[in-house]
Amino acid sequence: MGQNGKTVARVQCPVEESERQYNLREAFPTYPQTRETWVKASQELVAKVSPQIDLAYGDGPLQKLDYFNAQSGAPLLVFVHGGYWQGGDKADVNFMAGPYIAAGINVAVINYSLAPEARIEQMVAEVQRSLVWLNSQAGNLGFDPARVSLMGHSAGGHLIAMMVARTNERAPEGMPAIVNLFPISGVFDLPPLLPSSINNALALDQVRAEALSPLAWPGPDNTYIHTFVGAGETEQFHVQSETLGQAWKVARHDSVPDTDHFTILNVLADGSSEYAKSVIAAIKG
């Protein structure tokens, strides 16, 4: 083990630290108030721009997405919400589309099935399915299928990383190439979660946690990766992103000052912030 729990390419966390490091609603008890700001901002944006709501990419009740049309032929940014694979909803985080549609980038915000009803393997497959469906609808929706980028928060950061990890599973036919990847406060190595209460609903074992860890697999060759973490997050979340940076070709990493695991989204939804500007520049570049 290296300094501060880091290894070359893998994350280590003492069993007795897992709960404190990964139980984020305990670590950041102001989350309900932060979520209220998200919901309000999301409702205001939806009322203002009238996106297409609840487009079905599959038959499941949560296999739906919201689509924000900014400009015909422009790139697409797909946002995947967090919630430890067992909570969260696209309606809570639609506000994230704001600065990107203002910059002329089309945005899709997706839902996916949640634990304990669904396993993480199913969630990975559903995010893939949403991307295949979007790719098939590029002409109808009006985005450039050759310029698709992914952004995800927390569990969503894990799910988007699984879209580009070179696992033994063959990518489904019709998957678009991912030009840019923007994981926010992501979890890329799952075994450290096993001793925590977070795993109660997930029911992961060591073998499945390994298979579902992006850090257990080689990273993509042709995707620009920019990771973000809140400066005030628990140490393990810094280690997660820093270790991905060691193992994969991560072009840029930012620890965003004065933010925690949840308030970091407010900064990335602020078009005047240097961090949102950097995302816009990468997508449009």
> What is the share, in percent, of the chain residues with pLDDT greater than 70?
97
Q: What is the pLDDT of residue 9?
A: 77
The yes-or-no verdict on residue 282 having pLDDT over 90 is yes
What's the pLDDT band for 6 if we cut at 50, 70, 90? very low
The distance from CA 30 to its chain's CA centroid, rounded to whole angstroms, is 21
pLDDT band per the 50, 70, 90 thresholds, residue 3: very low
Angle at CA of residue 119, ends 115 and 121, nearest 5°: 140
Reported confidence tier of residue 53, pLDDT bands at 50, 70, 90: very high
What is the rounded CA–CA span in Å between residue 24 and residue 233? 9
Write the CB contacts of 120 (distance below 8 Å, at least 6 apart in sequence): 85, 202, 204, 208, 212
Count of Cβ atoms closer than 10 Å to residue 84 Cβ = 22
Sheet holding 106-110, edge to edge: 52-56, 64-68, 106-110, 74-80, 143-153, 178-184, 224-230, 250-256
Region 120-145: mean pLDDT is: 98
Alpha helices in 137-183 (DSSP H): 138-141, 155-164
Query: What single DSSP character describes residue 53?
Result: E
Please give the pLDDT value at position 272.
Answer: 98
pLDDT surpasses 60 at 43? yes
Distances (CA, A) of 170 to 51, 202, 203, 228, 248: 33, 24, 25, 28, 20
Nearest C-alpha neighbor of 11 from the set 186, 145, 162, 175: 186
**Nearest 10 degrees: CA dihedral of 232, 263, 243, 272?**
-110
Q: Is 110 helix (H, G, I), strand (E, B) or coil?
A: strand
Give the CA dihedral 257, 111, 67, 270, nearest 10 degrees.
-10
User: What average pLDDT does the segment 255-275 reach?
Assistant: 98
Give me the chain's average pLDDT, please: 96
User: Where exactly are the structural domains of the chain?
Assistant: 3-137+146-284
In the CATH hierarchy, which fold is given to the domain comprising 3-137+146-284? Rossmann fold (3.40.50)
pLDDT digits (tens, 9 = 90+) for 187-198: 999 999 999 999
pLDDT at 1 over 60: no
Q: Using 50, 70 and 90 to split pLDDT, how confident is the model at 233? A: very high
For 79-121, the pLDDT digits (tens) are 999 999 999 999 999 999 999 999 999 999 999 999 999 999 9
Residue 7 has pLDDT above 90, yes or no: no
Alpha helices in the chain (DSSP H): 18-22, 24-27, 31-49, 90-93, 98-102, 120-136, 138-141, 155-164, 199-202, 206-211, 235-247, 264-268, 274-284
pLDDT at 8: 55
Q: Is 23 helix (H, G, I), strand (E, B) or coil?
A: coil
